[in-house]
Structure 1
Amino acid sequence: MNPLLQVLRGLANGLGLAWWAKVETKGPNVIYWFGPFVRRRHLEAKLPAFLADLRSEAPASLSHDLLRVRRGEPLTEELNPG
């Protein structure tokens, strides 16, 4: 990855200006965070491949939101059923 782009992503994330996709699945109950992206359109361009990869694992349902937030680890959160 371009070092300058890496710095820009880190700066945007630190300021809460980075774009992230919050992807929730049921069966298994997991939240996945995909990002950070400096521009929403770049996230929108990369998201279909990420969603296709998750769909290949055959969750019972999958939904996503695009958010501008500050985000850190963990990027995968397992949720308790129910």
Structure 2
Amino acid sequence: MNELLTNLLSALGLAWWVEITTDSPRCLYYFGPFLNVEEAKAHQGGYIQDLEQEGAQNITVKVKRCKPTNLTVYDEKSDRGANKTQISSILK
């Protein structure tokens, strides 16, 4: 029942998401959806830890209501000379 409500809130843009930006690599990540702000905040530490273990630097975290269309966005322009593309995931 909780998952159904979370999916409904997500479809309406009312679910809570953890938005994380990193400077190196220059990325924007969304983790969620969550039913409430407390649940999102309870999970944010694990996401930060994972990114730190992958070598991400200058991590900024926000918990907010939104409806992201891409869960991960890579800034291609910040990586000169590399042949990388934007990474995106479709919401389920």
Q: Indicate whether the TM-score tops 0.5.
A: yes
Q: Which residue identity is paired with 2:3?
A: Q
TM-score computed with the length of structure 1 as normaliser: 0.85
Deviation of 1:60 after TM superposition, in Å, equals: 2.6
Paired position in structure 2 for 1:33 = 30
Comparing both structures, which one devotes a greater share of its residues to strand? 1
Residue 15 in 1 paired to residue 44 in 2? no
CA distance in 1 between counterparts of 2:68 and 2:10 reads 7
Runs of 4+ in 1 over 3 A off after TM superposition: none
Deviations 1:21-63 (A, max 9, x none): 1100111111110110011001111111111111111223110
User: What percent identity do the matched residue pairs reach?
Assistant: 28
- Which structure would you say has the larger Rg? 2
C-alpha RMSD of matched pairs (Å) = 1.4
Higher normalized contact order (CA 8 Å, seq sep 6+, divided by chain length): 1
Aligned to 2:72: 76
